[in-house]
DNA sequence: CGTTTCAATATTGTATGCAGCTTCGAATTC
DNA sequence: GAATTCGAAGCTGCATACAATATTGAAACG
């Protein structure tokens, strides 16, 4: 009765996570037979899942050579951040004119409830999940599912770098978690007062602040990915 | 030596075109065996192509029920137009600060060269191709390949409706082609003078003008899709 | 009549096999 | 030694087969 999720879906989810985490190294060739054994499925459903990930930009594909992990370069990451600016700023703009007072209040409330965890969290993974969750909720306020869909895709591909960025900020701040909750508040405040320009520009600078560190984060990413342990 | 394109690629291209044109009716279930015969390939490569199109939002998928054409509703089309606004406005913004004078001049030149064709074209299909081409070139000026990629995807899914929109404008104008070349000029002018706000707002209103007609265009789309002939 | 049941039919999900292309490395040449 | 050739091994591309699931429609029931 509970055959809700197919094999392809399961394989897809696993692969998406692996690709997001760069369990495949940048540009690494993926061996289908080996991978299908690891995932406990034959090559047919595996290749279907791989094709989805190619279409989503997590992997690339070359004829007669198979599937490869996406590359990891500063300019690629900058592009993703810029695309996030495009999507999230427009989502913010739409939320300003479209979201109900109740929905905005709910988001503000979410932020308040999260604050303790936000402040006390030491695990960057956890912190990032909360941050992504906030941005996803905000995108929901736009009422536009395409923007939500695109944002979700961008977030998946940029996640690894953002995680590194958070770790870096934490280490710099001497172990204190760098949850940028005040920037989030500022954005929600702008939406709540229907001050579109304020909200959008707060969102823009919030994202661009991170974008500027992309090059450095990519450098760190490479040193992590290609160093034997830890 | 010329085995550059695989079977999957060929099938994918054919299906993308079919899906874009609503050769599959909205929400229609797709029969794999029948389709694989039409396309001259077995179900294995067919399903790989179908999975790509699901990931790109051209089709949907349900477990154990297979593939379906994407739905066609006013709100879905509005979402696509809004996403276009997000992407193209940010691309315009980036182009303003980033594109070289030469590249901008080349785009202006392209517009000039196109003008005669633009004015004389009677075929909406042709007109739309030129319009898409202009927007794609502009997106190139942003130097951001993610934005280009997203735009290309959105354009594919919205194409059918834009075509109807153009036909409608033409019929209203008594057969004269409604190429909105002056709006394009205005955008390029803004970029050339590095007047970001002017360029972006020209782009925004250019796209939103069309968005407002989405509901009506969808209505017409349905009547076209479900009427026996013509 | 409208509903329900259930077996026949159709369709999808996945494993497997093999042809053809790519890769790798040892032997060969310069 | 470095470059090249070429055959063996490995991998991908695709067709096919069959199991699992969904759909259909006719018969039975209310």
Contact A161, A207 (CB under 8 A): no
Domain with CATH 1.20.120.530 in chain B: 74-225
- Evaluate whether B102 touches B149 at the Cβ level (below 8 Å): no
Selecting from A54, A85, A150 the residue whose C-beta is nearest the C-beta of B52 gives: A54
Beta pairing class for B59-62 and A29-30: unpaired
Nearest nucleotide (CA of A63 to C1'): D12
Strands across the sheet with B66-69, in order? B29-30, B66-69, B59-62
User: What is the reported pLDDT for A179?
Assistant: 66
pLDDT 10s digit of each residue in chain A, 230 long? 345 677 888 999 999 999 999 999 999 999 999 999 999 999 999 999 999 999 999 999 999 999 999 999 999 999 999 999 999 999 999 999 999 999 999 999 999 999 888 888 778 899 999 999 999 999 999 999 999 999 999 999 999 999 999 999 888 876 666 667 899 999 999 999 999 999 999 999 999 999 999 999 999 999 999 876 43
What part of A 54-113 touches B (C-beta under 8 Å)?
54-57, 63-64, 78-80, 82-83, 85-87, 89-91, 94
Every domain range in chain A assigned CATH 1.10.10.10: 7-69
CATH number of B74-225: 1.20.120.530
| D15 C1' closest Cα residue | B42
Cα dist. A136→A104, A119, A133, A186, B163 in Å? 13, 20, 5, 16, 33
Task: Using the C1' atom of nucleotide D12, identify the protein residue whose alpha carbon is closest.
Answer: A64
**CATH fold label, A7-69:** Arc Repressor Mutant, subunit A (1.10.10)
Q: Tens digit of pLDDT for each residue in A173-224?
A: 766 666 678 999 999 999 999 999 999 999 999 999 999 999 999 999 999 9
The alpha carbon of residue B83 is apart from the nearest alpha carbon of chain A, in Å, by: 6
Contact B43, B32 (CB under 8 A): yes
- Measure in Å the smallest separation between the Cα of B129 and chain A Cα atoms: 23
| B30 CB closer than 7 A to any strand C atom | yes
């Amino acid at each position: 009765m509970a055959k809700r999720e197919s094999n392809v879906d399961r394989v897809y989810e696993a692969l998406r996570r692996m690709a997001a985490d760069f369990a495949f190294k940048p540009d690494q060739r993926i061996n289908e037979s080996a991978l299908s054994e690891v995932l406990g499925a034959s090559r047919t459903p595996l290749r279907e899942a791989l094709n989805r990930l190619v279409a989503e930009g997590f992997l690339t594909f070359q004829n007669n050579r198979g599937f490869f992990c996406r590359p990891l370069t500063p300019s690629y990451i900058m592009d993703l951040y810029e695309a996030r600016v495009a999507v999230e700023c427009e989502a913010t703009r739409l939320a300003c004119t479209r979201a109900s007072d109740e929905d905005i209040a709910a988001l503000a409330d979410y932020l308040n409830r999260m604050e303790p965890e936000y402040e006390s969290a030491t695990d960057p993974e956890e912190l990032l999940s909360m941050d992504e969750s906030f941005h996803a909720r905000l995108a929901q306020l736009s009422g536009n599912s395409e923007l939500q869909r695109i944002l979700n895709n961008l977030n998946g591909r940029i996640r690894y770098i953002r995680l590194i960025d958070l770790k870096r900020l934490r280490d710099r701040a001497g172990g204190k978690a760098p949850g940028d909750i005040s920037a989030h508040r500022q954005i929600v405040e702008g939406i709540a007062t229907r001050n579109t320009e304020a909200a959008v520009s707060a969102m823009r600078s919030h994202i661009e602040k991170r974008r500027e560190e992309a090059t450095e984060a990519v450098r760190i990413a490479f040193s992590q990915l290609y160093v034997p342990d830890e």
